[in-house]
Every structure is written in structure tokens, then in C-alpha cells.
Chain A
Amino acid sequence: MTNPSLPAYNFAYLDEQTKRMIRRAILKAIAVPGYQVPFASRDMPMPYGWGTGGVQVTASILGPDDVLKVIDQGADDTTNAVSIRAFFAKVADVATTTRTEDATIIQTRHRIPETPLAHGQIIVYQVPIPEPLRFLEPRETETRVMHALEEYGLVHVKLYEDIAQHGHIATTYAYPVKVEGRYVMDPSPIPKFDNPKMHHSPALQLFGAGREKRIYALPPFTDVVSLDFEDHPFTVQRFDCRCALCDAQDVYMDEVITDDRGGRMFVCSDTDHCETRRSEGCQGAGLPQHCTAKAGWEAAE
């Protein structure tokens, strides 16, 4: 039955009851930082793995005055980012931007912007697998008990294995963190380069996993500590080169293959950061160059 007095679709795609349900889950997640709150994830007009969790969280917190930015691997112009941005421009008619500082909501996959987030901003992470213990303990019943009883020895077994096999902690993304000294949390597949940005961030950080039906959150100024060993402390990747386009250093780099003869260049993975710098007159050395990404332990030596 269609009621002619109602619009054909609701603001921001989801119906209001669904948004209320998701907002309740978000509030609970904020109240218990790092705890995975189950929610009744809806089918979205996109496949699982493309950000259905992030899209539902964004849809539930989006207002008409918000300015939305969507990034995928740091870039504003990749398929996933463009599609989700276009989706919300269409179903919510909100303003969109690529500039980090102009956005009120940033939905992200795999990166945190280089520009530090500010108070009042919200960053929404797309999460494929919310359970940090999944690959160590496949039973969901067991991992829930482990979270409840704070039994996190297994996470260190994984890190131990890394050092035993590779000589250093070889986990480079989805690096487990401990939140407020209580819950161990999967920060979604961001590079561990971005882990320190979560610690005491003034922005609200929300995590949505659509297929797994979980939402978790980090309220502003939350303790987020990357797990490590006393004698193998947590370190981030370093790059011993500068961005070929904007000459930036100490940012996370993408390697871009430029031909089939081994030509390649390294550029900022955060396209907004790179463009902003170029518009300010910074210029990189340009094409082919050599660069080695170094794990933190190498840089430290």
C-alpha cells in the first residue's frame, strides 16, 4: 500500500525506526568504548564488504546541515568513495566536500586523514571484521566470554608469532588496540601508521560492521593504546622518501606503478592532503623515484 501523502523514500535512505535502532546502538557503543554492540543491520543497496556498516551509521547520524566527506584508502576519487558520496548527495541532499577540515562527517575505509581531526567532527569507519580475536579463536561464544572476562592473552600470542617468524611485529594493518584499559578492539583495516591518531582524538569515532552486525565507538579523548611487548614496542611505518607530487614527508604513501618497465612513484595516500599542499605551491620531484617503506623497527635502528 502506498500512501500518497508520504514521500517515496525517507531522508538518508533508512526509515526513521531503523535510524532510532542504530542510534541506540551507537549511544551504547559510546557509553562503553571499544565494546561491540550488536544491531539489526539492514540490507543496503550495495554488496557486503563495500561499506554497508559505515553507510548505515552515516545514514543514522546525518542531518540536512551536515557536510559529508567519503574516503577510500585515503582517496576521495576512488569508486567506493565516489559512489557513497553520490548516494548520500542523492538520498539526503547533503553538501559534500573533499576537504577534511570542512567536513562534519567523514566516512572512511582504510585510512584516517593526515589533517588532524577537530572537535565536533565525526569519523565513521567501515569495518569488515569487528572481532580482533576472530583468527585466533573462531568460536564467537568463546570470544564474547574472553571480552567479558578481559582474557586477552591470545592477542599477544599472535604478536609473539609475528616476532618469532619475522623478527619484528609484522602486523601492519588492523593492528589491535586496547581502549581505556579495558576492551581490545580491531581499529578496522587502517595501517598501523594511523593508530596513534586515534589516541585522544578530539573527534567522535564510530565503527560500523554491516555483515557482522556490530557497532563500536571511541568517544573524543579516549585512551587508545596499541598492544606490544616491553622489548618489542609498537612502532609505525616510516617512508624514506617524499611525495612525488607535493613533496610531503612523514605521511602515509601509496606506490603507483607508472609503466610496465618498473617505473613507479610514491604519492600521498591522502589525496586531499596532497591537493591542499600543491595548491599552496608545494611541488614534488615528479616521476620515477625509488623509495623503501620501512617498518618502524628498521627506522629505529
Chain B
Amino acid sequence: MNSEPILSVRKLEKRYGNFIGCTDVSFDVWPGEVIAIVGESGSGKTTLLNCISTRLERSSGEIRYRLRDRRFPDLAELSEAELRFLMRTDWGFVHQNPADGLRMRVSAGANVGERLMAVGDRNYGEIRRRASDWLERVEIAASRIDDMPVSFSGGMRQRLQIARNLVTHPRLIFMDEPTGGLDVSVQARVLDLLRMLVSDLGLSVIIVTHDLGVARLLSQRIIVMKSGRIVEQGLTDRVMDDPSHPYTQLLVASILEN
């Protein structure tokens, strides 16, 4: 195992005026690890995810990321150009609503190929071949490569979004309720696919979800948030089976009753 964390968050805080988005958040992510951030609506988990992925500016604290050349800079030290390059090569972001992460008016193939073209691939046949490979990996028929995402079902759109993110072999994926808008059977299929891809590719994932079932299925470690603070973190199995904080106990109890 690699003993160096890929991402390190220290004392992260985000304020909206006097209102606290999240505060005093510290944790590490190791290569190949899936971390779930759970909590109820308004607990600050999406704010936290957006701060780490630099989609939102933090108020204070430290976020360090291990670059491919092993440097470990704070993301604030990187230039906008470096950050944007990171976002379209080394990172992925899977949105809850696939329409936010896809270009709905260009074909599935172009959606998957966009990142390849963004990093300089200029061979149409090669881009198309890799796009069609990835469509098959996420269980979309290669014959649909020229169809628009608007003609896809919710589950297919979500899988397309995943393929689009993974085509450049990123190392860190952010997911915001990736199965949130899907019905139960489709959800199960997407989760299955995610679990397989994550272990095949050795991805590090930070996944935000309010669904403890999703967290249990995908993650090795879990962070429980309430009112912008981490109330408990630990191995998923330990937290789920033996929650120590009253709020986590409530959360776990309410799930198991379902």
C-alpha cells in the first residue's frame, strides 16, 4: 500500500457571511480509497465537496493534493491554468443531475471524447475508438455513440457522465449524490458499475450521499457531518455497526428501520 495520502484537508472552513457552510473539517484520502460524506440536507456536505474540488472558494484552511510528479501543494498555490488542467485530466466530477455534467446537445461519443480532445488528441478514429470502448465499459451499446444524451434514460445519462469523467484515467473522483435522481433498480445497476470501476481502476473517490446504503456499499471510510462539522469519522463497517455519536446512532437507526 501507498503510505502517502493523495489528498489532505486541514481545518477547512467555508462561511457565507455569518452563516457557517462547514468548519473545522480535517481528513486525508489515500490512493484507491473511497470516502463517503454523509449527513442530512443542509449539513454542509455538498459545500465541503465543492470547496475541495475548488468549485467554491474556501474561507480558510488547507487542501493539499498529490500531483503526478509527487509534489503535494496546497490547491491555492496552483495557477488557474494548472487547476483547470487538473480538473479535466486528474479529477472527475459526477453531478447528481447528469445534465449538469454532460453537453446535452452533442453526441454521446463527443461527450466522452471531449476530455481527450482537450488534452490534445487529434485523431478522430482513435478518439472514437476510445469513446466506444468506454461506452461499452459503462454498459451503453456502442451503436448509440452518435445519439444525443437527451434521448438517453436517466440511468444511461448517469453512466455516460461516469464514462466522460473516466476516459482520461483520473486519480480522484468527486461524486455528488450520483444515484440521487434514479429509481431503485437503476440505482443498483449504477452502484454496481461504480463499485467495479473503482476497484478496477484503483480510483480515489469522495462521494457525498444522504443514503447510508450507498455509503455502505461503496465506501471504506465514512465521514458523518452535522451543522457543518464532522461529528464522527471512521471505517464504514465500524461506524455503521457501532456508531458512537448520538447523531450517527440516530442516522443508522433510521436507515435500518426502513
Contacts and interface: CB of A to CB of B under 8 A. Distances in A.
B124 A160 contact: yes
A229 B127 CA distance: 10
Contacts of B146: 164-165
A15 interface: no
Is the contact region of chain A dominated by helix, strand, or loop, or is it mixed?
A: helix
A156 B117 contact: yes
Nearest to A229: B124
B125 A231 contact: yes
A160 B127 contact: yes
Interface in A150-166: 151, 153-154, 156-158, 160-161, 163-165
B114 A232 contact: no
Is the contact region of chain B dominated by helix, strand, or loop, or is it mixed?
A: helix
Given A149-B84, A231-B123, A160 B118 contact: no
Contact of A229 (B81, B107, B119, B123): B123
A228 B127 CA distance: 13
Contacts of A154: 114, 117-118
A165 B107 contact: yes
A154 B145 CA distance: 18
A145 B79 CA distance: 13
A230 interface: yes
Nearest to A228: B122
A160 B129 CA distance: 13
Contact of A153 (B109, B114, B145): B114
A163 B128 CA distance: 10
Given A164-B146, A165-B146, A153 B122 contact: no
B99 to A, nearest CB: 15
Given A151-B118, A153-B118, A164 B84 contact: no
Contacts of A161: 106-107, 110
Contacts of A149: 80-81, 84
B107 A232 contact: no
Interface string B100-132: 000100110110011101111011110110000
B117 A153 contact: yes
B119 A160 contact: no
Contacts of B125: 231
Interface in A117-165: 145, 149, 151, 153-154, 156-158, 160-161, 163-165
A232 B124 CA distance: 7
A157 B106 contact: yes
Which interface class (under 10, 10 to 19, 20 to 34, 35 or more) fits A?
10 to 19
Nearest to B79: A149
A158 B103 CA distance: 12
A157 B123 contact: no
Nearest to A137: B103
A24 B34 CA distance: 56
Interface residues of B, number: 23
B110 A157 contact: yes
Interface in B109-165: 109-110, 113-115, 117-120, 122-125, 127-128, 145-146
B110 A164 contact: yes
Of listed A154, A157, A229, residue having the most chain B CB within 10 A: A157
B135 to A, nearest CB: 13
Contacts of B127: 160
A249 to B, nearest CB: 31
Interface string A222-241: 00000011111000000000
Interface string A30-64: 00000000000000000000000000000000000
Contacts of B84: 145, 149, 151
A230 B117 CA distance: 12
Given A149-B84, A151-B84, A164-B110, A157 B145 contact: no
Nearest to A165: B146
B118 A164 contact: no
Nearest to B119: A153
A154 to B, nearest CB: 7
Given A164-B109, A165-B146, A229 B80 contact: no
Interface string B57-94: 00000000000000000000000110010000000000
A160 B80 contact: no
A160 B122 contact: no
Contacts of B103: 157
Given A160-B124, A230-B123, 18 more contacts: A145-B84, A151-B118, A153-B115, A153-B117, A153-B119, A153-B120, A154-B117, A154-B118, A157-B106, A157-B114, A160-B110, A160-B113, A160-B127, A163-B124, A164-B109, A164-B145, A229-B123, A230-B124
Interface of A: 145, 149, 151, 153-154, 156-158, 160-161, 163-165, 228-232
11 contacts: A153-B114, A156-B117, A156-B122, A157-B103, A157-B106, A160-B110, A160-B127, A160-B128, A165-B146, A228-B122, A230-B123
